[in-house]
Amino acid sequence: MTDYLFAPPKVNTVAVVGETALFPVHRIFCVGRNYAAHAAEMGNEVDREAPFYFTKTPSAVLASGQVLPYPPGTSDFHYEMELAIAIGAEAFRVPVADAMAAVYGYGCALDMTRRDLQKKGKDRRRPWDLGKDVEGSAVMAPLTRASDFAVDGRRIHLSVNGETRQDATLDDMVWSVPEIVADLSKFYHLRPGDIILTGTPAGVGPVVAGDRLDGGITGLSPLSLTIGPTQ
Ligand code: MN
């Protein structure tokens, strides 16, 4: 039996609709600028050559329905409502036509972002980690198996305190699910447990302590999050 110097990190998991078994998270990849209207509101253009990515630490996973304390180091903490892809099979250098075989399922997710620190990173040509890899910032609703969901035309939306802030359809994504999986598999040996957040539509904005966020994608389990006071 292996001895550890201290208790090893816990396995981070996401619930699955209709399953008692949990989806264990391996890595979290995130696609940047995958909706033209959001890229425009941030003052950017979509790169039509290829998607680009950043990552979050797997321990950033937070189950839907929880309270997330307003994080340290920011005064501009933003929501980004996104479709999450859950990978359920190995994929390395897979063509677009075969990419869907690696998809286990889908879920509603939030990519919570310290926008001021992300902007600072962009302005100074530094990495985005402080802006994006925020503790508790990968909020995940229960996953739905791929066989029970079709991406086509589904509405993606988010409200803050009952007021709609983001409202688009998944058809607005610049890069489709199979295109993202195939492209990412050029760089990584994707394996079961990997999660990909596919980018956010227009309408991102700040939250404050006490705000209640409700997100949905038609056909998937809805998501909620409450922002708590600064710790
Ligand atoms: Mn995002």
pLDDT level of residue 42 (50, 70, 90 thresholds): confident
- Using the mean position of ligand 1's atoms as its centre, give its distance from the Cα of residue 22 in Å: 24
- Residues near ligand 1 ion, CB 5 Å cutoff: 80, 111, 200
In angstroms, the CA 11 to CA 50 distance is 32
In angstroms, the CA 178 to CA 16 distance is 21
- Using the mean position of ligand 1's atoms as its centre, give its distance from the Cα of residue 154 in Å: 18
- Using the mean position of ligand 1's atoms as its centre, give its distance from the Cα of residue 70 in Å: 18
- Using the mean position of ligand 1's atoms as its centre, give its distance from the Cα of residue 188 in Å: 20
pLDDT level of residue 46 (50, 70, 90 thresholds): confident
Res 48 pLDDT > 90: no
Res 22 pLDDT > 80: yes
- Using the mean position of ligand 1's atoms as its centre, give its distance from the Cα of residue 147 in Å: 25
Residue 47: predicted pLDDT = 80
Res 45 pLDDT > 90: no
In angstroms, the CA 31 to CA 173 distance is 11
Burial class of residue 55 (count of CB atoms within 10 Å of its CB; 0-12, 13-18, 19+): middle
Beta carbons within 8 Å of 129's beta carbon, 6+ residues apart: 54, 121
- Using the mean position of ligand 1's atoms as its centre, give its distance from the Cα of residue 57 in Å: 14
DSSP the chain: ----SSPPPPPPEE-BTT-SS-EE---EEEEES-BHHHHHHTT----SS--EEEEE-GGGEEETT-EEEPPTT-S-EEE-EEEEEEE-S-BSS--GGGGGGGEEEEEEEEE-EEHHHHHHHHHTT--SHHHH--TT-EEEPPBEEGGG---TT-EEEEEETTEEEEEEEGGGBSS-HHHHHHHHTTTS-B-TT-EEE----S--EE--TT-EEEEEETTS--EEEEEEPP-
Q: How far apart are the first and last CA of the chain?
A: 39
**pLDDT digits 0-9 by tens, 75-107:** 999 999 999 999 999 999 999 999 999 999 999
* Average pLDDT taken over every residue of the chain: 96
Residue 140: predicted pLDDT = 98
pLDDT above 70 covers a percentage of the chain that reads: 100
pLDDT level of residue 143 (50, 70, 90 thresholds): very high
Mean pLDDT of 212-229: 98
Residue type, position 180, single letter: I
- Using the mean position of ligand 1's atoms as its centre, give its distance from the Cα of residue 141 in Å: 16
- Give CATH for domain 23-228: 3.90.850.10
- Using the mean position of ligand 1's atoms as its centre, give its distance from the Cα of residue 35 in Å: 10
Domain boundaries, the chain: 23-228
Res 1 pLDDT > 80: no
Reported pTM: 0.97
Residue type, position 20, single letter: T
pLDDT level of residue 149 (50, 70, 90 thresholds): very high
Quote the Cα angle for 10-193-160, to 5°.
80
- Using the mean position of ligand 1's atoms as its centre, give its distance from the Cα of residue 34 in Å: 9
In angstroms, the CA 163 to CA 72 distance is 26
- Using the mean position of ligand 1's atoms as its centre, give its distance from the Cα of residue 31 in Å: 7
Q: Which two tokens stand for residue 172?
A: 């607005």
